[in-house]
Each structure stands twice: as C-alpha cells, then as structure tokens.
Amino acid sequence: MARRRSRSPSLPAWSQSATAPAVAGRPNREGCRRPAGPVISASPMPIQPGTNLGAYEVQELLGQGAMGTVYRAYHQALARTAAVKVLSALSPDPDATGRFRREAQSIAQMRHPNVLNVYDFGDYEGTPYMVVEYMPGGSLSDRLKAGERFDRETSLLLLEGIGAALDYAHGQGVVHRDVKPANVLVDSRGHPVLADFGLAKLLQSASVKTVSGVTTGTPAYMAPEQVMGAAVGPAADTYALATMAYEFLAGAIPFEGEGMLELLYAHVHREPPPASSRNPDLSPAVDAVLAKGLAKDPAARWESSAE
C-alpha cells in the first residue's frame, strides 16, 4: 500500500485530498472499505409528509444518499405516485439553478422503455428537486447486497436493457456518468430501468459542493479518464457497464482496495484479473469481451454500449 501511495502523483490532486484512512472491515460492494458513493457532500433537508412540492404531495421518506433525499409523493389530479429527488448537494445560487433547469429539460425529454421517466422539476425553498417515475421493485444494488447472484441468462437480459438505454441516451447527446447497480431499478416485469441519467453532470455543472476539482461518480465504476478528471464521453458509460457485466458474471467487481485512492489507482494503472479466474464457468471469449469494455483507452472500448 505504501508503494502505491508513493506513486499517487500520477492521479489528480483531488484524489489524494478526498481519500480518508481505510475503515476496518470487509470491502463494500463499491470496492473499498470506506463509503464510496458519488464523491460529493450533501446536507439533505427534512421534508415533512403532507408538504406540497409543486403538484405533488410528499407521503414518506424513501431513502437518503450523497446526492440528496428521495421521497414518495402523490399527484392527486393525475392519481399518480412518483418519487421526488431533492438535490440538496446543489449550491443555492441563481446561475446554478438556471444551469440545472436547462440540463433537466434535456433529460426530461428522453423516452425509452429502459430509461426512468422524469415528470417534473422545480425547487423547494431554493433547493432543486426532480420528480421521477416510482419503481417499488428496488434496485439491482439491493438485490446484490441481499446476496442474490444473477445467472448468465438473467445477466445478459439485464445488461442488454441497460446497454440499450445508454445507446439511446448517447444518441441524444446525454452521458450518464454514474452507471452502477444502485442506479438500475427493476419494473413490475423484471426489466431494468436506468435512473439518474445525467444527474452527475447536472450537479457538477451547477456548482456542486464538492472537494475542490472532484469529478462526480462512484469509484468502483469510474473509467480511467473520469478518475483523471479528463473529458468524459459515452466510452465512460461503456466502461461502467463492462464493470457491472464483470460483477454479474464473476460475482465480484474487477478491482477492490483498502481505500478510495487504491481503488482509483487500479482503474488507471492495473489490469483486472480475467473474470474466468473467479468463475470457471466463463469462457475465454467472455474474458475478451469484458477486457475490451474495460480497456484503459476509451477509443479501444466497444463503440457503443449496446454492443
């Protein structure tokens, strides 16, 4: 570990300042021993049941994460249940809110069976929120944390749906930037629905309260160019999808580390072990497909996520 840290100047300066000492215990699903959600801070404000956010009445708290807080809400006139994401990581200045609205408008126009619908957006006491489709089936992350393993057929069906969603979004000029199991919800038919499209960019482009210079994302699924703070395009989503494919098929993420810095270093400088070394039922052909998706050079990856 000491040797790896001595080489850390090859990573951006923010990666060192954002890295805290490892916490004892087993690595989490994001690959490191400390929480490894999106690298931003948040101070979610509590909203009481019965509060109206636009036409939606808040009913209950669903969850809380690095990007804000999620509530279940109800639109009386439309008889529609929805989820409201209160993005409390966003700086409350007029310019930031304007950029947020412009980005949110482009995301709300996307329509695809594997993309979570955005119904509305607004602000509550100066804090932006988005109203999105409600998915009571939970996320793939919930299922993985519960110990569920996806067989090959299920994995391929899930990956096909996620890849189709990404390919559609890329055609619309939208890059996700934070593809991971926690952002893949499951509908009533068991189909994957990708959530939080462009949310990382919404927050980053609208003055997010981050560690100085931090690129938003989740360390276990971040492409090398994303780690290095370079321009991020569709290839970064392809890398994250390949990481998920590796996780589904091999039963573990490609890289694990004692802390965030070690994990980020691995994305940039190390090659993952072949997935077949963790699951002997996988063929060399599968290893080759995953290796191409996990290539360090964005230009060497699959040209589209749907491939």
Structure confidence at residue 202 (pLDDT): 59
Structure confidence at residue 242 (pLDDT): 98
Find the mean pLDDT for residues 80-101. 72
Confidence at 2, pLDDT banded by 50, 70, 90: very low
Provide the 8-state DSSP code for 22.
Answer: P
Catalytic residue among 120, 123, 151, 178: 178
For residue 146, pLDDT beyond 70: yes
Structure tokens of 237?
């989503």
24-78, pLDDT tens digit by residue?
A: 333 455 554 433 443 333 444 578 999 999 999 999 999 887 667 899 999 999 9
CB 180 within 8 A of CB 141: yes
Residues 33-54 as b/e (b if ≥16 CB within 10 A, e otherwise) read: bbebbbbbebebeebeeeeebb
| CA–CA separation, 162 and 160 (whole Å) | 6
Spell out the domains of the chain, with CATH numbers in brackets: 52-133 (3.30.200.20), 140-300 (1.10.510.10)
Structure confidence at residue 128 (pLDDT): 83
Structure confidence at residue 304 (pLDDT): 81
Structure confidence at residue 108 (pLDDT): 85
Provide the 8-state DSSP code for 115.
Answer: B
209-225, pLDDT tens digit by residue?
A: 333 344 567 899 999 99
**CA 174, 175, 177, 183 torsion-angle sign:** positive
Residue 287 annotated in active site:
no
pTM, to two decimals: 0.79
